[in-house]
Structure 1
Amino acid sequence: MTFKDIALCSVFAVALPAGQTLFKLAAIESGRLGGSIVSRLMNNLPLWGAFAWYGLTAILWVYILSRVPLYKAYAFSMAGAGLVPLLAWLVFKEPVSWQAAFGFGIIMIGLLVVANAQSA
């Protein structure tokens, strides 16, 4: 993988947990808003922001896949999934167990192995 490929995949890996953070903010906002579920969804700015963010992220993903093999690019998305608990802890003060932190460490080691793998 080139430096640009790694940079693009890294941006994607960070974009995924950012989107999940927006969805969590949307859930919190939904609880604050009154009215019907339809009204709460329609007036929920974090939710619409999350939808827009994921739309942009999808465009980035298609571009990445035009440059990088799927198996390598997808490994970075797993790193993004591992960042979600970290953001949950930092932003929302949610408890994260040592097992979750350890699991994220394993994901990061796997990412390094996959990113440095030679194509068959």
Structure 2
Amino acid sequence: MPPSIIISCILVSISLAGGQILFKLAALDIVKYKALGVASVFTPWLAAALMVYAFSTALWVWVLMHAPVSKAYPFVLLAVPLVPLASYWLFSEALNMKYAIGLGLIIFGLFLIQSD
């Protein structure tokens, strides 16, 4: 795949991971608002997450116009380690060694799939 497509695939993965973090922030806000007696599920974090996902979707469609899905889709797996790492740093969520090994295997698998 050309470098522009690979970079776009990586950007899709990063934006998907970022969207998940924004969804988590929206969920935390919704819980906070509910505790205050406010009946709102729409928060700025949710709006940002939806915008990031709209961007991801548009970029993904562009990628699929220029690359086979069998080569592009494995890049989505990059979001898998990004989300837990971000949740560890941002929300102090626990990660263990088994988890780290599994993430390493996913990344190794991506490299195997892409090497032709």
TM over 0.5: yes
State the match for 2:28 in structure 1. Answer: 28
State the match for 1:68 in structure 2. Answer: 67
Whether 2:16 is the aligned partner of 1:16: answer yes
C-alpha separation in 2, matches of 1:53 and 1:98: 31
Cα deviation, 1:65-86, whole Å, max 9, x if unaligned, reads 1111111111110111221111
Cα deviation, 1:81-114, whole Å, max 9, x if unaligned, reads 2211111101111001111111111111111112
C-alpha separation in 2, matches of 1:116 and 1:7: 16
Q: TM-score, normalised by structure 2?
A: 0.91
Question: Does the 8 A contact of 2:13 with 2:77 survive in 1?
Answer: yes
* Regions of 4+ moved over 2 Å: none
Q: TM-score, normalised by structure 1?
A: 0.88
Question: Does the 8 A contact of 1:9 with 1:76 survive in 2?
Answer: yes
Name the amino acid aligned to 2:77: M
Question: Does the 8 A contact of 1:75 with 1:111 survive in 2?
Answer: yes
Name the amino acid aligned to 2:78: A
State the match for 1:49 in structure 2. Answer: 48
- Number of residue-to-residue matches in the alignment: 114
State the match for 1:79 in structure 2. Answer: 78
State the match for 2:7 in structure 1. Answer: 7
Name the amino acid aligned to 1:11: L
